[in-house]
Every structure is written in structure tokens, then in C-alpha cells.
Structure 1
Amino acid sequence: MRAISGLWRWRHNPLCRPTDLAEAWAALAALLLILVVTPLAGSLVGGLAQDALQESVHEQRASRHLVTATVVRKVEGSALDADPEAATGRDLRTRVVADWTAPDGSPHHGSVMSSLESPQPGDRFTIWTDRQGRTVARPLDSATASTHAVLAGLGAALLAAGLVEGSRRLVVWRMVRRRYARWDQAWDKAGPDWGRTGTGS
């Protein structure tokens, strides 16, 4: 971006090459694009992600139900495991065999994860199920959905900035290559005797 500060300085300089001005203008255009396009891309992607995730939150809340299950017995050899769906990842879960009644009234029996540290037969705990009583993950909460949407917006903004800067670097690289090619041609025209005395130069 040093080329931007040099843009004004190069305006009327007789040593200024067209490629110097082109590099400076490319840097200025890239900066303006980053300042304008990056926030737009971030807000657009973040807004779309927020809408989609909040809709998913509402759908999951409507289709998933919290029901009470009763411990029949602890599954042999099951140890305390961290709950991967917990907000902190520190909630411990124990696998048990339990009975529960689905929201549609059908009875169910099976192996599930409980939040009880030392479950005993008859202990009660809550699990998430669908309307038919099949166990499901807890529904996505609104705060987590918003966090994911913000991260998506930040990622899109960074990607947009990276694309603009990458394009600028590619343009400058091509201009430098062209400049070197012109220098090579100029040296070839000057010949191997350029600058020697008595060669007519």
C-alpha cells in the first residue's frame, strides 16, 4: 500500500513510469474495494446465515420435545463421558437403559445418555425426543445460532479482503513481469558493446 502514498508524489515527476502510476492506482482501488466490499460481504453473508439458522432454531424447537425418562439400569462398563452438545463441553453423561413416553403417547425403552452421575433404578432425568419418541440432539439455541452467523460474516469479510488483495498482487506481479521483459528487450537492442568507448555510442 506504499504505492498509494506515492500516487500524489508521482503525478508530475518526469521519472514516473506508467507502470508506477498503474501500481499506485491498483493499490488505491484495492484499498477502496476492501473498505467497501468487505463490510458488505460480511453483513450480507452474516444476515443470510442468521436468517437460516434462526429458522432452523424455530423448526427444531417445534419438532423436538423434552420428556422425562426413568432409569431401568446402568449400562455395564459405561463411564462418565463429556457431553459433546453441552455449551461448555464439561457436562458429564452416563449411558443407561431407560423407559420414557413419547409426546404422541407411545412407550419407549432403550439405551440413552443421562445427566446423572451415579444413576440408580427409578431415578428420573430429561431427554430430547422427536414427536414419535426417538432420541434426538437438543435443539440449537438462539445465542449459538447468532454466534455462528457472526462467525460466518467475519469469514466472508476476510475472504473478500483476501480476494481483493490477492487480485491486486496478481496485477502488480504481471506488471512487474512486463516491465522486466521490456528492460530485457531494451538491453538486447543496446547490444553487448553498450557503453564502450569507440563503439559509436
Structure 2
Amino acid sequence: MMNAGYLSLVLAVIALILFASGWKDFLIRGITPTSLLLFFIFWIALLRMHVRWGDMELNGPAFVFAGMVLYMLARAKGVLLRFHLGSVTLLLGALFFLLSEMLHLMPTLIIGDIGFTISLLIGLLTAMLLRTPAMQLAALAGGMLLGEGLGLYMHRGSGEPALGSAALVDLWWLSAFITRGSSIMLELLLISLRKALRALNDAWRIR
């Protein structure tokens, strides 16, 4: 079992290699190179930052996650789209909290380990509820940050709380990979179904 923070480092390196190899537009279409560069700059700059806020420690990734959600809420066109993004973020936060608190009570539902199961379920749900990569990644960031915050509040007084932990960062990167992979597979499946239906329709017309 690797230490917290190693998985996110490995996945971040894999993502950078894929982007540098020309897969960016296929994997995260709509996200500009400038936005991607700024994300990694802030990520690296704030990764080791720790700020005290009362009894809580705020880690750098918490600011990155919060910034992603606020940026997408500001950039979203229309009230309905903002409401949809906000509602999905809240849903993911509630689901993350419930799974973190209760999944160990249902061992038959666990696939591999608890962290992977949480990332899998949240990633698949995000892929089904949101279409654009930027909104998916922002909703994941905000939802998981909210879920961790709820968990810290419920267990206040038991240890030193830290928001934006390395374990959360690992889960976000894993969920992001699962979300984008699922979305791409669904899109390819829909394209294949459309082509098959079009071919079937043309065949019936010829008859």
C-alpha cells in the first residue's frame, strides 16, 4: 500500500505525459492550454502550503479545489447551468461523505479497497451527470472537498483536522481519471449506436 500522496503524483505524471503526447484535446476537450498550465502552476505552488484557521489546518490543494469550483461557477453561462453545477457538487459532497462513513459497514460492496470504491462510484456518477470535462473536474473537486469537510466536522475533537489532505488529493486524481475514461467510453458507445442505427435505417430504405 503506497503512502498518501504518491498515487496523485503518479497520475499527475501520467496526465502530463498524455497531454504532451497530443492527447489533450481528446481527453479534456474544451480546457485551454492556458487554463491547464495555470492549474499545474497553482497545484505545484500550493501543494506544500499549510494555513492554520482556528483549530483546522488548510492544505494548499483545498484552495486549488475551491478555486476550481468558484471559477467554473463564474464562467458558467446562465443561471440554470450554474445551478446544475452547484447541485451536482453538493450531491457528490454528500455521497462522498456517506461512502466514507458507511462503506466499511458494507464490505460486500467494496471493490479492491474503500478508496478505489469511492472514486469509482463518484467518478461514474459525475460522468453521467455532467458532460464537459471542466465542469466534471470542478464538481469532483468541490464535492470531495465538501465531503471531507463534513467528515471533519462530524469527527471534530478527535485528532487534528486537516482539509485538503493528501489522501483526498489521491482520490480526486483517481476519480478524475475514472470520470474522463467513463465519459469517453460513453461518447464512443453513443457514436457507435448512432452509426449502427443510421446504417440500419439506410438498409430499410433500400428495401
The alignment's TM-score, normalised by the length of structure 1, stands at 0.30
Of structures 1 and 2, the larger Rg is shown by 1
* TM, length-normalised to structure 2: 0.29
Please state which structure has a larger fraction of its residues in strand: 1
